[in-house]
Amino acid sequence: MTTENAVKKLLIVDDSKVSRLLIRQHILAKQPDWIISEAASGEEAINQIDQNVPDYCTMDINMPGMLGTDAAELILAKYPLLRIVIFSANFQDAYQARANALGTVLIAKPVTEKSIALALTYFDGSH
C-alpha cells in the first residue's frame, strides 16, 4: 500500500467496458493523479492484485465466471487493508448483506457523479 501523500492506485473490475470507462472518467475528474488499471473479471482482478496491489478497487457483482463478491472475499483474505466498493445494478438484500459482511460497501448502478462521490468517501475512510 502507498503512503498518505503518494499517488493512489485504483483497480476497476467490471465485465462491461462502458462501465469501466464511466468509472474511470468520473474518478479522474475528481482525482486526476490516480493510477487506474482495469480487469474484466474476478479472476483477472485477483491475478492483477497479486502482481500490483492497489489502494482501492471497484468491483461489479455479476460477471462471467466468478461473482464479484466471491472475488472480493478472496482478495480481502489476502489484502485486508484494500478498500473495495461493489457497484451493481442488482441491489438485492442478499448482496447488500454480503457486501457488509465482507467489510465493503454496495453502491447502486448506474455509475453517476453521486455514486462516485459515495465511493470516494468510502475510499477516504469517511464511511
pLDDT of residue 5: 64
- pLDDT tens digits along 16-34: 999 999 999 999 999 999 9
The CATH architecture annotation of domain 9-123 reads: 3-Layer(aba) Sandwich (3.40)
The predicted model scores a pTM of 0.92
As given in the structure block, the three cell numbers for residue 108 are 447502486
Residue ranges per domain, the chain? 9-123
Q: Which residues contact 69 (CB under 8 A, 6 or more apart)?
A: 59, 61, 86, 95, 98, 99, 102
